[in-house]
Amino acid sequence: MTEGNKERKPVKPVTVKIDDFRKKLNQAVADSELPPFLLEMILGEMLSAMGRVADQERIQDREAWEKACADQERMQDKQEQGRKQEKACKEGEKDG
């Protein structure tokens, strides 16, 4: 099979992933046989940790986005300068 003919695997929609996660989480809670106050404590700690990870991810995403925008602007500036130099060279050919 060549690169261009690769079969694409179906991608599970995020809504289905969420539904599957909820079902598995409910099953894990039921299977744990822990009292609700302990589950609340454990899940609260996990939620707090996930919040910190999400904050870091947002910061990294913002930095990557701003860098990509700056890189794109630099490329556009270089292309503009190249066109101006090319135009100046062509005009110089007319004069020369």
Residue 79 has pLDDT above 70, yes or no: yes
Q: Over range 49-78, report the average pLDDT.
A: 92
Enter the DSSP assignment of 94: H
Task: Indicate yes or no: pTM above 0.75.
Answer: no
Number of alpha carbons in the 13 Å side-chain half-sphere of residue 4: 0
Q: Over range 5-33, report the average pLDDT.
A: 93
Instruction: For residue range 35-48, list pLDDT tens digits in order.
Output: 999 999 999 999 99
* Burial readout 32-61 (b: 16 or more C-beta within 10 A, e: otherwise): eeeeeeeeeeeeeeeeeeeeeeeeeeeeee
Question: Which amino acid makes up residue 29?
Answer: V
Instruction: For residue range 58-70, list pLDDT tens digits in order.
Output: 999 999 999 999 8
Q: Over range 70-88, report the average pLDDT.
A: 76
**Which residues have C-beta within 8 Å of that of residue 7, sequence separation ≥ 6?**
1
